[in-house]
């Protein structure tokens, strides 16, 4: 090998070793768990309470029969629109018509009897007047000594008898008058009963249910017995979403809050509404008490009419319970809970940074300094100097994807949002490497 | 090309140890002719082993170096599925102060044994399988002198690691491309290729070629191919386990 060749090889070796030395000193390979981050920035947030339930009309009338009988005329079909007062169905009126006629006859008989009693009363009055005159005459004659004591006593007795008869006659007339009133009341009742065999719509709406067919016999409706409902008329001009809201959300729900309603049967459409009723008592669970969530009934009235909607449609109401404009926010998936050592003032006490040291989960009380304690804190991991630093924070409202940050974070902080396993397992001080493709830009607001 | 497996004749004049060690780096063929003619292994092995021992332990004399070694140990244990508990870590941390001594001692014990094993393998291949007639002492002397490249590598790595407070190989090609993900196949492959190890193989091939009177190139290519296969295997394992 020539000397020149040796010099060239030597220079090559020196160059390679020099490059390696430079690379080792200059470029320190970043190590650590690969994470995705998102930048904390200001956003407009809406706190949404989502609950599902059923579509119901605000006014719904279940029509039952007040009288028993066969349906002789059924004028409506299910789904038919009806107006208030429109004829719906007729129950056989013959029995009730007979009752009316019978009562009318009884009343007429009572009136006739009344006339007889009045004639009799007039006759009694005339007799009384005659007896009164005779007695007066006997008294004058007695004073002049022109009549006997016997004649005077007879006249007096006759007068008393006529007075008793007149009084009895008056009593009979009064009794008959009361009887006539009774008959008139019976007639009114019979006529009212007759009127109830003709059923008319009490509201304008749609026949949403028809449980009867012409020719069938109806029974008298009883409360809480769906089987006795003949027809249901719903006023679909005002629609409500009756939803079940979880007990943890119910304190934030208030009357008048806006809501967005989606109906499963009408995909792609949403309808605006407002909360109009909030239940004060929990919905009674039908299953075992231990497995049932405690929910409260909330009614959301839809602002506009919804064509082709039907009662009972499954729906979801997203109630906007709070709004915040341009607040510092953090992704919900970034939040986690860690047990940390805090000092007297509640500040996190961090151990010296060590990437490989396993996280301590069970420090003994004796290992803590005076004034320190272990406390479970809610917070996020922020990437600082290529390490995950657990930062405790206070959150406000929860939007769909973000929490409002009340304290603990500032705009521009890069919080670790994934992978999920990383957020779950990271410890304070762990070395991390931000996945290049997922690095989010710093917020400009 | 000659196919004879005759041992080299003891014609070259013997050299002093420093001259032999420097000669292996500057003119390996001529130096190995001297070594083969006058096979002496102890001095070279002792010097190279002590150098490797010293420079391997040097980074661990610093706190950062000990911490880096500790981290390396934890990573290795985890890669074998051992869960390092805080208590285990505390014990390892307490014993870290002894790391320079234990490392140095370990190198002094292990290095001659490894050299012995390698010499045995090569002796078996070239003598038994290929009909060579070199003595084991000659083979061991070649390996002991080739170790000067390893000592140079230890000096290079140990010095850099001492100043940067780190541990591990610094002469691998992966260091030149830090932008590559270390768990990727390419990153792992380049990380497994150590410049000093390549140099060592080339020097060893020259020594063997001189010893067995064969051409250097086939021996070097064969040894480098074996190294390449091992490097690819390591890279595949790391990239699979690392999940890159």
In this prediction the ipTM stands at: 0.76
Q: Average pLDDT of B28-39? A: 91
Q: Quote the pLDDT of residue B222.
A: 93
> CB–CB of A42/A326 below 8 Å?
yes
- Nearest C-alpha neighbor of A429 from the set A373, A380, A381, A378: A381
Question: CA A400, CA A407: separation in Å to the nearest integer?
Answer: 20
Residue ranges making up the domain that contains B182: 17-242
Residue A360 has pLDDT above 60, yes or no: no
Question: CA A261, CA A241: separation in Å to the nearest integer?
Answer: 8
Region of poorest pLDDT, from A61-75, A309-323, A354-368: A354-368
Q: What residue in B sits closest to A17 (Cα-Cα)? A: B171
- DSSP bridge pairs for A333: none
> CB–CB of A24/B163 below 8 Å?
no
Question: CA A152, CA A138: separation in Å to the nearest integer?
Answer: 5
Quote the minimal CA–CA distance from A304 to chain B in Å: 55
Query: Of chain A residues 262-301, which have a CB less than 8 A from chain B?
Result: none
Question: CA A11, CA A7: separation in Å to the nearest integer?
Answer: 6
Is B128 within the bounds of a domain?
A: yes
CA distances from A86 to A218, B101, B132 (A): 20, 106, 119
> Two tokens at B144?
């002991």
> Two tokens at A259?
């809501």
- Does the CB of B199 have a partner CB in chain A at under 8 Å? yes
CA distances from A391 to A154, A338, A378 (A): 123, 10, 8
Question: CA A185, CA A177: separation in Å to the nearest integer?
Answer: 12
> CB–CB of B151/B201 below 8 Å?
no
Question: CA A210, CA A207: separation in Å to the nearest integer?
Answer: 7
Q: Quote the pLDDT of residue A367.
A: 65
> Two tokens at B9?
């004749």
Out of A157-161, A235-239, A334-338, B55-59, the most confident range is: A157-161
Average model confidence (pLDDT) across chain B: 85
Q: Which of B93, B160, B173 to mutate to test the interface with A (most CBs of A within 10 A)?
A: B160
Pure H helices in B81-135: 86-94, 99-123
Residue A317 has pLDDT above 80, yes or no: yes
Look up tokens 């004879």; give the residue: B4
Residue in B71, B84, B163 closest to A355 by CB: B71
Q: Quote the pLDDT of residue A257.
A: 93
At residue A445 the predicted structure's pLDDT band, cuts being 50, 70 and 90, is very low
Is B1 within the bounds of a domain?
A: no
Q: Quote the pLDDT of residue B218.
A: 92
Residues of A in contact with B75 (CB under 8 A): 356
Sheet-wide strand order for A198-200: A198-200, A87-91, A69-74, A217-218
Contact (CB<8Å) B182/A17: no
> How many domains in chain B?
1
Q: Quote the pLDDT of residue A289.
A: 53
Question: CA A236, CA A310: separation in Å to the nearest integer?
Answer: 8
Question: CA A82, CA A205: separation in Å to the nearest integer?
Answer: 6
How many degrees, rounded to 5, is the angle at CA B162 between CA B160 and CA B165? 100
Concatenated DSSP letters for B22-63? Answer: HHHHH-HHHHHHHHHHS---HHHHHHHHHHHHHHHHGGGGSH
Q: Average pLDDT of B231-243? A: 78
Q: Quote the pLDDT of residue A157.
A: 95
Q: Average pLDDT of B16-25? A: 91
Is B11 within the bounds of a domain?
A: no
Residue B182 has pLDDT above 70, yes or no: no
Average model confidence (pLDDT) across chain A: 85
Contact (CB<8Å) B164/A356: no
Question: CA A31, CA B134: separation in Å to the nearest integer?
Answer: 48
* Stretch (H or E) spanning B146: helix B136-164
Is B12 within the bounds of a domain?
A: no
Q: Quote the pLDDT of residue A362.
A: 44
Taken in order A249, A250, A252, A258, the sign of the CA dihedral is positive
Look up tokens 């150098």; give the residue: B51
> Two tokens at A294?
């405690």
Q: Quote the pLDDT of residue A226.
A: 67
Percentage of residues of chain B with pLDDT beyond 90: 45
Query: Of chain B residues 162-191, which have a CB less than 8 A from chain A?
Result: 163-164, 166, 170-171, 175-176, 178, 182
Q: What residue in A sits closest to B89 (Cα-Cα)? A: A357
Is B7 within the bounds of a domain?
A: no
Look up tokens 């332990």; give the residue: B57
At residue A444 the predicted structure's pLDDT band, cuts being 50, 70 and 90, is very low
Quote the minimal CA–CA distance from B103 to chain A in Å: 21
> CB–CB of A283/A51 below 8 Å?
no
Indicate the DSSP class of residue B80.
Answer: T
Is B5 within the bounds of a domain?
A: no
Q: Quote the pLDDT of residue B108.
A: 94
Taken in order A210, A85, A204, A255, the sign of the CA dihedral is negative
Of residues B181 and A276, which shows the higher confidence score?
A276
Residues listed for chain A: 445
Residue A337 has pLDDT above 80, yes or no: yes
At residue B107 the predicted structure's pLDDT band, cuts being 50, 70 and 90, is very high
SS (H, E, C) chain A: CCHHHHHHHHHHHHHHHHHHHHHHHHCCCCCCEEEEEEECEEEEEEEEEEEEEEEEEEEEEEEEECCCEEEEEECCCCCCEECCCCEEEEECCHHHHHHHHHHHHHHHHHHHHHHHHHHHHHHHHHHHHHHHHHHHHHHHHHHHCCCCHHHHHHHHHHHHHHHHHHHHHHHHHHHHHHHHHHHHHHHHHHHHHHHCCEEECCCCEEEEEECCCCCCEECECCCCCHHHEEEEEEEEEEEEEEEEEECCCHHHCCCCCEEEEEECCCCCCEEEEEEEEEEEEECCCCCCCCCCCCEEEEEEEECCCCCCCCCCCEEEEEEEEEEEEEEEEEEHHHCEEEEEEECCCCCECCCCCCCCCCCCCCCCHHHCCCCCEEEEEEEEEEEECCEEEEEECEEEEECCCEEEEEECCCCCCEEEEECHHHHHHCCCCCEEEECHHHCCCCCCC
Q: Quote the pLDDT of residue A359.
A: 54
Q: Average pLDDT of A284-294? A: 64
Q: What is the tens place of the pLDDT at every residue in A105-129? A: 999 999 999 999 999 999 999 999 9
Q: Quote the pLDDT of residue A222.
A: 74
> CB–CB of B156/B196 below 8 Å?
yes
Q: Which of B64, B67, B176 to mutate to test the interface with A (most CBs of A within 10 A)?
A: B176
> Two tokens at A342?
């805090």
Residue in B89, B164, B182 closest to A357 by CB: B89
At residue A101 the predicted structure's pLDDT band, cuts being 50, 70 and 90, is very high
Q: Is B81 helix (H, G, I), strand (E, B) or coil?
A: coil
Residues of B in contact with A23 (CB under 8 A): 175-176, 178
- Nearest C-alpha neighbor of B21 from the set B39, B2, B47: B47
Q: Quote the pLDDT of residue A304.
A: 86
Q: Which of B166, B173, B178 to mutate to test the interface with A (most CBs of A within 10 A)?
A: B178
Q: What residue in B sits closest to A1 (Cα-Cα)? A: B27
Question: CA A39, CA A145: separation in Å to the nearest integer?
Answer: 136
- DSSP bridge pairs for A235: A59
Residues of A in contact with B197 (CB under 8 A): none
Region of poorest pLDDT, from A51-55, A143-147, A361-365, A393-397: A361-365
Q: Helix B42-57 and helix B136-164: axis angle, to 10°?
A: 20
Q: Quote the pLDDT of residue B189.
A: 86
Is B23 within the bounds of a domain?
A: yes
Percentage of residues of chain A with pLDDT beyond 70: 89
Quote the minimal CA–CA distance from B170 to chain A in Å: 6
Q: What is the tens place of the pLDDT at every residue in A4-21? A: 887 888 888 888 888 888
Region of poorest pLDDT, from B108-122, B178-192, B196-210: B178-192
Is B8 within the bounds of a domain?
A: no
Query: Within 10 Å of residue A50's Cβ, how many Cβ atoms?
Result: 16
Contact (CB<8Å) B195/A1: no
- Does the CB of B155 have a partner CB in chain A at under 8 Å? no
Q: Average pLDDT of B125-131? A: 86
Region of poorest pLDDT, from A29-43, A231-245, B138-152: A29-43
Query: Of chain A residues 34-93, which have a CB less than 8 A from chain B?
Result: none
> Two tokens at A189?
């009742």
Question: CA B204, CA B219: separation in Å to the nearest integer?
Answer: 9
Residues of B in contact with A19 (CB under 8 A): 176
Q: What is the tens place of the pLDDT at every residue in A409-437? A: 888 888 998 777 777 778 888 888 887 65
């Amino acid at each position: 090998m020539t000397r020149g060749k040796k010099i060239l090889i030597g220079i090559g070796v020196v160059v390679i070793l020099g490059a390696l030395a430079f690379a080792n000193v200059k470029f320190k390979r970043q190590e650590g768990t690969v994470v995705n981050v998102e930048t904390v920035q200001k956003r407009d947030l809406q706190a949404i309470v989502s609950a599902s339930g059923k579509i119901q009309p605000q006014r719904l009338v279940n029509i039952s029969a007040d009288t028993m009988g066969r349906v002789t005329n059924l004028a409506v079909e299910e789904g038919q629109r009806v107006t208030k007062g429109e004829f719906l169905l007729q129950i056989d009126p013959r029995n009730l018509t007979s009752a009316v006629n019978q009562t009318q006859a009884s009343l007429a008989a009572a009136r006739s009897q009344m006339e007889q009693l009045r004639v009799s009363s007039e006759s009694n009055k005339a007799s009384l007047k005659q007896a009164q005159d005779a007695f007066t005459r006997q008294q004058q004659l007695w004073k002049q000594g022109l009549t006997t004591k016997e004649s005077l006593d007879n006249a007096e007795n006759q007068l008393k008898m006529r007075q008793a008869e007149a009084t009895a006659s008056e009593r009979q007339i009064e009794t008959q008058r009361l009887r006539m009133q009774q008959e008139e009341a019976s007639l009114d009742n019979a006529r009212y009963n007759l009127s109830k065999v003709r059923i008319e719509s009490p509201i304008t709406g749609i026949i949403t249910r028809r449980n009867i067919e012409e020719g069938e016999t109806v029974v008298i409706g009883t409360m809480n017995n769906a089987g006795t409902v003949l027809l249901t008329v719903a006023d679909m001009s005002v629609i409500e979403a009756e939803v079940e809201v979880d007990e943890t959300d119910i304190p934030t729900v208030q009357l008048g809050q806006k809501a967005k309603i989606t109906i499963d049967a009408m995909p792609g459409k949403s309808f605006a509404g407002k909360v109009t009723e909030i239940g004060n008592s929990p919905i009674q669970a039908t299953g075992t008490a231990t497995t049932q969530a405690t929910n409260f009934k909330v009614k959301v009235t839809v602002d506009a009419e919804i064509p082709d909607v039907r009662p009972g449609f499954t729906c979801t109401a997203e109630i906007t319970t709070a709004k915040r404009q341009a607040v510092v926010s953090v992704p919900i998936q970034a939040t986690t809970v860690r047990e940390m050592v805090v000092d007297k003032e509640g500040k996190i006490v961090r151990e010296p940074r060590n990437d490989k040291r396993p996280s301590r989960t069970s420090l003994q009380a004796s290992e803590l300094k005076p004034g320190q304690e272990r406390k479970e804190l809610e917070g996020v991991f922020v990437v600082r100097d290529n390490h995950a630093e657990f930062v405790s924070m206070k959150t406000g409202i929860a939007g769909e994807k973000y929490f409002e940050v009340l304290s603990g974070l500032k705009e521009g902080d890069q919080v670790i949002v994934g992978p999920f396993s990383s957020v779950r397992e990271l410890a304070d001080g762990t070395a991390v490497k931000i996945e290049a493709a997922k690095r989010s830009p710093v917020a400009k607001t | 090309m000659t196919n004879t497996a005759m041992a080299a004749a003891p014609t070259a004049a013997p050299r002093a140890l420093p001259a032999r060690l420097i000669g292996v780096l500057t003119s390996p063929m001529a130096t190995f002719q001297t070594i083969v003619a006058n096979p002496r292994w102890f001095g070279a092995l002792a010097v190279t082993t002590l150098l490797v021992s010293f420079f391997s332990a040097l980074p661990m004399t610093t706190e950062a170096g000990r911490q880096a070694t500790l981290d390396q140990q934890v990573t290795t244990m985890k890669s074998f599925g051992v869960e390092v508990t805080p208590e285990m870590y505390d014990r390892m941390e307490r014993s870290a102060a002894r790391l320079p001594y234990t490392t140095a001692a370990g190198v002094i014990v292990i290095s001659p044994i490894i050299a012995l094993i390698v010499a045995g393998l090569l002796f078996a291949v070239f003598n038994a399988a290929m009909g060579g007639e070199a003595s084991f002492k000659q083979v061991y002397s070649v390996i002991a002198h080739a170790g000067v490249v390893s000592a140079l590598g230890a000096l290079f790595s140990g010095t850099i690691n001492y100043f940067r407070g780190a541990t591990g190989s610094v002469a691998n090609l992966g260091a030149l491309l830090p932008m590559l993900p270390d768990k990727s196949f390419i990153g792992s492959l380049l990380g497994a290729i150590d410049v000093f190890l390549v140099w060592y193989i080339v020097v060893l091939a020259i020594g063997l070629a001189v010893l067995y009177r064969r051409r250097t190139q086939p021996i070097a290519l064969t040894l480098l191919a074996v190294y390449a296969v091992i490097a690819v295997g390591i890279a595949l394992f790391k990239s699979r386990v690392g999940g890159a």
